[in-house]
Structure 1
Amino acid sequence: MTTGPENRCRLVLIVPDIADIEERRTMLADALRGGDVASVIVPQYGLDDTLFQKHAERLVPVIQEAGAAALIAGDSRVAGRAKADGLHIAGGVVELAEAIEKHTPKLIVGGGNAGDRHNALEVGEVRPDYIFFGKLDGDIKPEAHPKNVALGEWWAAMIEIPCIVMGGTDPASALVVAESGAEFVALRQAVFGEAAAAARIVAEVNALLDEKAPRFDD
C-alpha cells in the first residue's frame, strides 16, 4: 500500500486575482514551498490578452519548478507561448470538445461548468483529462459548496476520469472534499487570502490530508 499524496486527494491551487506580476509570482512561489501541489490553474480574470501572456510567462516556470502542472484557463495561444502543461476550459461541452480534439495528448485538457449530473455526463463523453466541479472564483463561503461536493462524490464513485472539486475559504474544507472520494481539491482564497501564510497553509492542508483523507486503494 502506498502512503504518499498520490494515494489520496491532492491539492490544486488557483492563482488569485492580483494585478502586480511580481507580487503574484512571489505569493505563488511561497505557497508552492509549502508541500505537495498537483497542479496550478492560472485564470485570466480581467487581464487583457497581452498582460495575461506576461503573467503566464512569469508564473508557469515557477509552477513547473515546484513539480506541479501549470494549467492556463481558457487561452490556448497563451498556454502554448508560455509552455504550460495544459488548458482549463471553463466554457461548455462544445468548447471543451474542440480543445481536446486540438490539443491532446500534447496538453492536459480539462474543465467543467457542469452544474448537474446530466451536464457532467455530457462532459465525460468528450473524455477530458479531468472534470472540475464549481467555479474558479466560487470560494465565497468557508465550506465547499455542498452541491459540488455531492457531484464529486457521485462522479468519483462511478467514473474513472478524475475530478477536481472547488473548496471554500476555510482550508479545512479540503478534508470534506477528500472525504467525498474526489481525487483533487481546488483552493484559492483559503491559501492566498493572507499572503504571508500561504506556505504554512499548504503545509497544514497536506498534513490534514495525510492524516485523515481516505486512501484510494483502501
Structure 2
Amino acid sequence: MTEMLPPNRCRIVLIAPEGETPAGFVKRFREAIAGGDIASILLPAYGMDEAAFQAFAKPVVAAAQEAGIAAVIAGDTRIAGRVGADGLHLEGDRSALEEAISHYQPKMMVGAGGAKTRDEALELGEARPDYIFFGRFGYDTKPEPHHRNLTLGEWWAEMVEIPCIVMAGSDIASVEAVGRTGAEFVALSSAIFGEGIDPKEAVARANAILDETAPRFEE
C-alpha cells in the first residue's frame, strides 16, 4: 500500500464474514486491500472455539498490519492480545466496556457495539470508547442499509464527537447512504466478500462512490 494521507471523508471498515478458512480469507482480504483505502478490519468469532478463532485471526491480523490497516478482534480480549491486534470490539455491556477501556487504552483501541436506541448508544458513549458501531455482524443481507442504523448514525455523527461506524447493505452502492449520514466509517462485509464478488473491484468502487458523494470533514 502506498504511503498516502487517508481520505478526509467516510472510510471503509471491513468485517470478515462467517464460515471462512484462514487461508481462503487471507487471499480474499489481500485482494480487497489491492482495491484501495481501507481503514480497518473487524474480526468476529461467529461461534468458533478459542483455538479456531486464534488460528483464523492470526494471519488476517498480520496481513492487515502489513498493509497499514488496523485489525480489531470482536469479543475476546485474550485472542486480541495473543495475535497482537490493534483493537478490541465489545457488544452491549457498559461495565465490560469500561473494564476493557481501563485495561487496554491507549495501547489498544476499544470500540463498542450493540446499541439499538439513542439511550443505549449514549450509555455506551459515556464510557468513552474509541468508536461506536451501529449494525450487527452478518445481518447485511439486504441491498440497502438498515434504516435504524442510518438514523442512529446520522444523529450520532451530528451530536457526539466519538467516531461512529455504520453498517452498509449487501449492495456496494449503499455506501453512499452511509457516507451522507456524516459517519466517519462505513462497514462492509457481504458487499465485498459475498459469492461471486471481486473484492478488489468492490473496494475500488466503494472508494470511488465515497470520493464522489461523501461529505468532507472539517480539518
How far is the alpha carbon of 1:61 from its aligned partner?
0.7
The share of aligned pairs that are identical, in percent, is: 53
Contact 1:5 1:210 (8 Å CA) reproduced: no
Instruction: Give the corresponding residue for 2:19.
Output: 18
Q: 3-state SS of the aligned residue for 2:138? A: coil
Instruction: Give the corresponding residue for 2:95.
Output: 94
Divergent runs of 4+, >3 A: none
Moved more, 207-216 or 126-135: 207-216
In the alignment, is residue 48 of structure 1 matched against residue 49 of structure 2?
A: yes
Runs (5+) with no aligned partner, structure 2: none
Contact 1:129 1:162 (8 Å CA) reproduced: yes
Q: 1 CA distance for matches of 2:81 and 2:32?
A: 25
Instruction: Give the corresponding residue for 1:154.
Output: 155
Q: 2 CA distance for matches of 1:157 and 1:181?
A: 7
- Superposition TM-score, scaled by structure 1 size: 0.95
| 1:118-129 matches, cutoff 5 A | 118-129=119-130
Q: 2 CA distance for matches of 1:19 and 1:178?
A: 28
What amino acid maps onto 1:207 in structure 2? A
Instruction: Give the corresponding residue for 1:31.
Output: 32
Per-residue deviation, residues 92-124 of structure 1 (Å, max 9, x unmatched): 222211111111111010012110100011011
Q: 1 CA distance for matches of 2:20 and 2:191?
A: 19
Instruction: Give the corresponding residue for 1:69.
Output: 70
Instruction: Give the corresponding residue for 2:191.
Output: 190
Q: 2 CA distance for matches of 1:5 and 1:46?
A: 34
Q: Report how many residues are paired.
A: 215
- Superposition TM-score, scaled by structure 2 size: 0.94
Q: 2 CA distance for matches of 1:97 and 1:168?
A: 30
How far is the alpha carbon of 1:6 from its aligned partner?
3.3
Q: 2 CA distance for matches of 1:123 and 1:103?
A: 17
The alignment's C-alpha RMSD in Å is 1.4
Q: 1 CA distance for matches of 2:172 and 2:197?
A: 15
Per-residue deviation, residues 185-215 of structure 1 (Å, max 9, x unmatched): 0000000003650010000100111111111
| 1:93-172 matches, cutoff 5 A | 93-172=94-173
Contact 2:92 2:124 (8 Å CA) reproduced: no
Q: 1 CA distance for matches of 2:139 and 2:100?
A: 23
How far is the alpha carbon of 1:18 from its aligned partner?
2.8
Q: 3-state SS of the aligned residue for 2:176? A: helix
Runs (5+) with no aligned partner, structure 1: none
Contact 2:18 2:138 (8 Å CA) reproduced: no
Contact 1:91 1:112 (8 Å CA) reproduced: yes
Per-residue deviation, residues 22-66 of structure 1 (Å, max 9, x unmatched): 111111111111110000001101211001111111110101112
